Structure 1
Amino acid sequence: MTSSLATSISSLNSVAMGDKKADLILKNCNLLSVYTRETLPKIQIAIIHDRIAYVGPDASHTQGPKTTVIDVKNKYVSPGFADPHLHIDQFVLPSEFVKQALLCGVTSLFSDPIDIVSVAGYKGFQEFLKLGEDLPVRIFQVVPGGLPVDAKFSNSNSLTLSQEKSAVKHPHVLGLGEVFSWTKVTLREPKTMKSISSMLELDCIINGHTAGASEKKLNAYVSSGILSCHEPINFDQVLERLRLGMWIMIREGSIRRDLKEIIPHVLSHGTYLNRLMFCSDGLDPLDITKFGHIDHCVRESIKLGLKPIDAITMASKNNFDYYNMGKDLGGIAPGKLADILIFDDLKSIKPNKVFVGGKLVVDNGKIVIPIKKKAISPWFKKTVKLKKFSKNDFAIKSKKKDVLANTISMQTEIITKLGSVELQSKEGQISASLDSDVWKVAAFDRIHGTNQHSIGFLENFGADIGAFASTWSFHENDMIVIGSDDSDMALASNHIIKNQGGLVVVKSGKILASLPLQFAGIVSTDSFEKVSSNFEKINNTIVDLGCKFARPHLIPLFLPFLALPSVRILSGGIVDVKKRSYIQPIN
């Protein structure tokens, strides 16, 4: 339980004066001061309970017989890092993810659980909040601000205005998550504007998503009280937003890595850094293992020429200034919560020790406290509401011998365009054509149990497999099945139903790779290590069998994503995003 500053001032004051003794003293610190941009040698830090009482050259007056004293031996000491925007409702449970985050020095996570809400609504949001509590890291949440992506087509759950107001009463819910359909703002869509207005009245933060917006549209968006964005991919976009008073979260994560395109120009331009932060927007298990988390952003920025103190300030203080939490977090100073990192050097930026609320949680690069997996409500493992499939469920029928089919042509794992191809029917059914790299693709409502589904064609996938299926997608969470063989598509679907979610690769009636995602069909209940291994096998299997893209798991993830052009597939049909109309699979 985190103490409040209001109830702590008497004990903090007493320790600072020496009238009461500290619980912990860190001595011989090379303190990285995010308030003055300097490194202060030989500093001592006195802590009582979970807050800092004294920072200065001599804390001996705060030492008593029960005070623990740690000699830092002139190592570097900084505030804990924060990730101001990420989605932790992916891959592993919060209890597993925080172990990896802490090893990277990340002591605060600002989570947008948009896909949990997409699957499980307000009940799911409340349950997910509980999974983030009582962990040795600070997890703050926002109410998802992007659902439904497009009410005309979306099948996802979302929160009502009254549920949003109720949600932000929770002390760890800070406001509204990324409002990524910015056209809803510029067109003043009633529910969106009411939601924003309600959050502003409650003095809540509102996170932004402005990909593709500029000039008058960007001005309209910012004037609506949305003051951050993690979408700029180059310095020109950063500068345009900074000039309008926005805060920028420079993204370096598994979906995109924008740091190298931005930091050098920030330095050459001499841009103020006080509204710049780093964020991941979400990390897959392989990336956090290979690169790290916010520590990676700090390391890379230093390599690109940023001063270590400035990179650390962007990784700590600036985040809490943005979220109006600076009186409690963001620096090492009297009154602040004692979230502290100790580094051997300023090149590796790997913390040797991590304290959260004055408690040692990482020592010598290892977690030193127990982190228990919390019990999960049984209904959360029953969200794939589908009946057993047969190959007939993937049939596309036509009385014509030759047909012109519309296709979803994959340009990258994420970007699509509308294509067309001539196909032949046999015995009244149109099959996929591996020779022409034409696949069937299907989307099934697996949340509401409606049996709503659509089947179409996809081009440019390339892998020599029978089927690839997934229940995790942005932000519809339909079950997506890509395949060249109807029987394998049925097998893949039935395997996912048995697991109640996940990703699976099938060929010739055999399961080649599987990643179970038992929790809401989007998160695994297995260990980080097991999930990482299964995830790696999914991608490697598809790539090794000829897929044209390096990260094939992203294909079903983005195929239903209505916030991107050009063609998407949902359980309700194939959608031309720009025209906001359905496309028939066969002309």
Structure 2
Amino acid sequence: MIDRDTQKRIVDMAAGREPADLLITNAKILDVFSHEIVESSLAVGAGRIVGMGDYEARETLDAKGAYIVPGLIDSHVHIESSLVSPKEFARAVVPHGVTTIIADPHEIANVRGLDGIRYMLDATRDLPMSVYIQLPSCVPATGFENSGAVLRAEDLAQLIDEEYVGGIGEMMNYPGVVAADKDVLDKVYLGISRGKVVDGHSPAISGRELNAYAASGIKTDHECSTVEEMHERLRQGMYVLIREGSAAQDLEALVKGVTDRNFRRCIFCTDDRQPEDLLTKGSIDNNIRKAVRLGLDPVLAVVMASLNAANCYGLKGKGAIAPGWVADFLLVDDLADFNVRQVYVDGVKVAENGVTSIKLADADDSTVTDTVHIQPVTAKDLEIKLPCPRANVISMLPHSLVTKAEVRDVRPDDMGLFQSRNNPGLLKLAVVERHHAIGNVGVGLIENYGLENGAVATTVAHDSHNIVVCGDNDADMLAAIKDIEAMGGGITLVREGKVVCHLPLPIGGLMSDRSAEEVAAQLKSMVEIAYRDFAVNPENEAFMALSFMTLPVIPEIKLTDQGLFDVRKFDYISVCAE
């Protein structure tokens, strides 16, 4: 909100009585209201757009024919999934034109509760971008797992009126919403009672269930994977967030459903994106480029990435190039390749030619470190007894968070225990509770991950972020768990009891304290090793795909620290299928 004196100065600049701070000449300005390209100069002052046309200014920049478009808005992202701190996340995405994000910190909240959310608020307050925090609605995601905290509506109420709290994060407990569960609806009501947005997460539901979900006041959904799902939600008055992340990539399917009639309710998000993708392919600019390649009109793509998102989240003054609007804008070479030359936030240049041009300060992370606390895990904890010849198996699907529940024939050893060597294609999966050292270890079987002669473990395990470990032998799985504990969280690859490589993630067991470039380089090396030396299936992202095998709100079957979980039944099932 500007003060009265600033308002007068902006009006004086717009009227030509006072020079603007900056005049950008020889530009092509995208009007997101009329969808016109206006060849003109753009005047900027006091952090706002002053006007278009001939103005005097203290500084002049020749755009040399570049397009000026509104700053891009990522409508749903988990900073933690970038594996870097908020500062490093900003340094990675701002040069790609992202000037505003809607961040849901439910990863760090599942580890550290309100302290985790406060850390994110503090760490994002002085970044060269606007960060609006959606208070996590599902900590834990369900009652079928143990997380580091439990947040109820009364807990979230402590933060709901903070300036940069935009509303309530994705409501993954859709069965609770549909059943009108009091605790669930209390969180939804907390958001709508303050006039703030409540985000959705409703994969595969339709009909009356979807009616009930939308009727609760939930406004968005980023879990559509088909045009049919997308159109049904649009008919319910919801906004559809078209996701293009590192693991979940829905844009190619959904962009076919965007039309001149419905595009106003369609916006872009990344959800979960790893550091190398952010640094090389970009963020929402990548969504725009891909959508245009697939046939979407470039102007509509930019509108979806700016004005539509601002309208959805009530970001007044953002998302357009117009007098009085916030001066968040980009200079790009063209609207198809969308190469970002310069990025301005509040009228100040913050990035140029792919590099952030202002210094970013470190944030205090002392409240979100030292987060791995486990009971000693033994081979006995990893045993899977098979008193039957058939087992329930988590079947991974290529490039998808969704899994299939399959029943496979299995051959136990002489002791009646599962061994991978006797069952080609099947691996052991375990989830170890790591927040309060209560000793829970859930075990199950998984196929299509493809690991051979070793183990992979990580504390990035959505959404409760316990330790998830996959392997074809218990010794390496145990060694991987020990390395995770020693690092205080991270990702590790182990073979013959030795750590082949690892990536420490000391901030909540989710984020590194190193630069985005360092993390990207180490992760890239580890992914290559996983595919080349450990025979991980290249149709799945080596580590991120594994981290979603613990998320009991994505169909059809997952594993938590409490056991194998059938998402369709929303209840535990035995590994034994008979």
How many angstroms does 1:539 deviate by?
2.6
Aligned 8 A contact 1:433 1:439 in 2: no
CA contact (8 A) 1:354 1:362 kept: yes
- C-alpha RMSD of the superposition: 2.4
Identity %: 27
Q: Report what 1:146 is aligned to.
A: 138
Work out the CA distance in 1 between the residues paired with 2:406 and 2:147.
Answer: 22
Distance change in 2, residues 1:162/1:149 (3 Å): same
How big is each residue's C-alpha offset from its partner over 1:430-456, in whole Å with a ceiling of 9 and x where there is no partner?
A: 544265333332221101121222334
Partners of 1:15 and 1:356 in 2: how far apart? Answer: 19
Deviates more, 1:538-547 or 1:338-347: 538-547
Q: Which residue of 2 aligns with 1:384?
A: 372
Q: Does 1:528 align with 2:516?
A: yes
- TM-score with structure 1 length normalisation? 0.91
Match of 2:461 among 458, 465, 473: 473
The letter of the residue matching 1:57 is: G
The one-letter code sitting in structure 1 at the alignment partner of 2:540 is: A
5+ long unaligned stretches in structure 2: none
Task: Please tell me the residue identity of whatever aligns with 1:384.
Answer: V
Aligned letter for 1:412?
Answer: L
- List alignment gaps of at least 5 residues for structure 1: none
Name the TM-score, length of structure 2 as normaliser: 0.92
- Cα distance per residue 1:286-312 (max 9 Å; x no partner): 322443211122222333333322221
The alpha-carbon distance between structure 1 residues 422 and 576, as it changes in their structure 2 partners (threshold 3 A), is: same
Contact 1:513 1:538 in 2 (8 A): yes
**Equivalent in the alignment of 1:551:** 541
| Counterparts in 2 of 1:14 and 1:388: CA distance versus 1, 3 Å | same
Alignment CA distance shift 1:252-1:152 (3 Å): closer
Match of 1:73 among 58, 64, 67: 64
Aligned match for 1:224, one of 190, 211, 216: 216
Note if 1:342 corresponds to 2:331.
yes
Could you tell me which amino acid in structure 1 is paired with residue 335 of structure 2? L
Are residue 51 (structure 1) and residue 41 (structure 2) matched? no
State the distance in 1 between where 2:300 and 2:425 align. 50
Match of 1:493 in 2: 481
8 Å CA contact 1:503–1:538 kept in 2: the answer is no
Matches within 5 A, 1:406-425: 406-412=391-397, 414=401, 415-425=403-413
| Aligned positions of 1:222-301 closer than 5 A | 222-267=214-259, 270-301=260-291
Aligned to 1:38: 36
Q: CA separation of 1:583/1:260 partners in 2, compared to 1, >3 Å: closer, same or farther?
A: closer
Contact preservation (8 Å) 1:285, 1:528: yes
Of structures 1 and 2, the larger Rg is shown by 1
CA separation of 1:576 and 1:41: change in aligned 2, threshold 3 A: closer
Tell me, in whole angstroms, the C-alpha distance in 2 between the residues paired with 1:448 and 1:279: 33
The 8 Å contact of residues 374 and 436 in structure 2, kept in 1 or not, is answered as no
Correspondent of 1:518 among 489, 506, 513: 506
- The alpha carbon displacement at 1:23 in A equals 2.3
Q: Using the alignment, how far apart are the partners of 2:281 and 2:360 within structure 1? A: 23
Q: 1:361 to 1:266 in 2, by over 3 A?
A: same
2:122 equivalent to 1:124: no
- Distance across 2 between alignment mates of 1:70 and 1:217: 54
Q: Deviations over 1:96-130 (max 9, x none)?
A: 11122112111111101111111111111111211
Q: 1:296-375 residue pairs with structure 2 within 5 A? A: 296-326=286-316, 328-375=317-364
Contact 1:112 1:144 in 2 (8 A): yes
CA 1:216–1:375: 2 relative to 1, 3 Å = same
Write out aligned runs for 1:77-92 (5 A): 77-90=68-81, 91-92=83-84
Contact 2:476 2:494 (C-alpha < 8 Å) held by counterparts: yes
Cα deviation for residue 95 of structure 1 reads 0.8
Partner in structure 1 of residue 493 of structure 2: 505
**Counterpart of 1:69 in structure 2: which amino acid?**
T
Matched residue type, 2:234: L
Deviation at 1:381, TM superposition (A): 1.8
Deviation at 1:177, TM superposition (A): 1.0
C-alpha distance in 1, partners of 2:4/2:172? 36
Question: Residues 533 and 573 of structure 1: is their aligned pair in 2 closer, same or farther, counting only changes over 3 Å?
Answer: same
Q: Deviations over 1:61-87 (max 9, x none)?
A: xx3xxx122122332111111101111
Is the contact between residue 105 and residue 351 of structure 1 (CA under 8 Å) also seen in structure 2? yes
Residues 21 and 561 of structure 1: CA distance in aligned 2, closer, same or farther (over 3 Å): same
Which amino acid letter does the alignment assign opposite residue 191 of structure 2? M
Deviation at 1:420, TM superposition (A): 4.5
The answer to whether the Cα contact below 8 Å between 2:430 and 2:443 also exists between their aligned partners in 1 is: yes
Shift of 1:191: 0.7
Paired position in structure 2 for 1:25:
23
CA–CA distance in structure 2, aligned partners of residues 304 and 567 of structure 1? 32
SS at match of 1:579: coil
Residue 103 of structure 1 aligns to a residue in which SS?
helix
Q: Tell me the CA shift for residue 555 of structure 1.
A: 4.3
- The answer to which structure, 1 or 2, has the higher relative contact order (CA under 8 A, 6+ apart) is 2
Counterpart CA distance in 2 for 1:434 and 1:519 is 39
Instruction: Say whether the 8 Å CA contact 2:203–2:554 is kept in structure 1.
Output: no
Please state if 1:204 is matched with 2:201: no
Q: Equivalent residue of 1:433, what SS?
A: helix
Q: 1:438 aligns with which of 402, 426, 432?
A: 426
Structure 2: distance between partners of 1:436 and 1:564:
26
Change beyond 3 A, Cα 1:205–1:30: same
Match of 1:394 among 382, 396, 399: 382
2:336 counterpart letter in structure 1: K
Instruction: Answer yes or no: is the 8 Å Cα contact 1:407–1:459 preserved in 2.
Output: no
Letter in 2 for 1:84: S
Letter in 2 for 1:287: D
Match of 1:165 in 2: 157
Q: Go from structure 1 to structure 2 and tell me whether the alpha carbon gap of 1:571 and 1:233 turns closer, same or farther (over 3 Å shift).
A: closer
**Any conservation in 2 of the 1:45–1:59 contact (CA below 8 Å)?**
yes
How many angstroms does 1:336 deviate by?
1.5
* SS across alignment from 1:167: coil
Spell out, residue by residue over 1:372-403, the C-alpha distance to the aligned partner (whole angstroms, 9 max, x if none): 332311x42211002555555535579xxx76
> CA offsets, 1:141-164, max 9 Å, x none?
101123333224454523221221
Could you say what secondary structure the match of 2:536 adopts?
A: coil
Q: Does 1:567 pair with 2:557?
A: yes
C-alpha separation in 1, matches of 2:382 and 2:253: 44
1:180 equivalent in structure 2: 172
> 2:451 pairs with 452, 459, 463, which one?
463
Distance 2:39 2:231 in 1: 36
Per the alignment, in what secondary structure is the counterpart of residue 365 of structure 2? coil
**1:193-235 Cα distance to aligned partner (Å, 9 max, x none):** 1221222111111111221122222222112111211222232
Report SS of the residue matched to 2:167: strand
**What is the SS of the residue equivalent to 2:358?**
coil
Summarize the Cα distance change of 1:364–1:479 in structure 2 as closer, same or farther, 3 Å threshold: closer
Query: Residues 467 and 83 (structure 1 numbering): CA distance in 2 closer, same or farther, change over 3 Å?
Result: same
How far 1:495 moved relative to its partner?
A: 0.9
Deviation at 1:416, TM superposition (A): 3.8
Which amino acid in structure 2 is aligned with residue 339 of structure 1? D
Q: Distance in 2 between matches of 1:566 and 1:310?
A: 35
Aligned partner of residue 85 in structure 1, secondary structure: strand
Q: Does the Cα contact within 8 Å between 1:407 and 1:421 map onto a contact in 2?
A: no
Distance across 1 between alignment mates of 2:463 and 2:44: 46
Q: Distance in 1 between matches of 2:222 and 2:381?
A: 41
1:348 Cα deviation after fit: 1.9
Write the distance in 2 (CA, Å) between the matches of 1:248 and 1:460.
Answer: 30
In 2: Cα distance, 1:370 partner to 1:138 partner: 16
Contact 1:408/1:568 (<8 A) preserved: no
Tell me how far apart the structure 2 counterparts of residues 259 and 425 of structure 1 sit (CA, whole Å): 45
Distance 1:532 1:383 in 2: 23
